[in-house]
Amino acid sequence: MIQSSIEFFKNLPAKQCSECGEKIEEQHECYGNKCDKCNHISN
């Protein structure tokens, strides 16, 4: 029954930057859909 949310999140595809397609590390939730570089550029 606890087919846990951990397993669910493991199976999610890696986030990708909507600008350059760079893989986004999960630690920065506030970054939205952009990688570090593009986030700085567009802001």
Could you list the residues that contact Zn ion (CB under 5 A)? 17, 19-20, 22, 35, 38
- Identify which of residues 7 and 29 has a Cβ nearer to Zn ion in the complex: 29
- Identify which of residues 15 and 35 has a Cβ nearer to Zn ion in the complex: 35
Q: How far is the CB of 29 from Zn ion (least distance, A)?
A: 16
Q: How far is the CB of 39 from Zn ion (least distance, A)?
A: 7
Cα dihedral 27/25/16/29 (nearest 10): 10
The pairs formed by 7-16 with CB atoms below 8 angstroms and a separation of 24 or more are none
**φ, ψ at 28 (rounded to 5°):** -110, 85
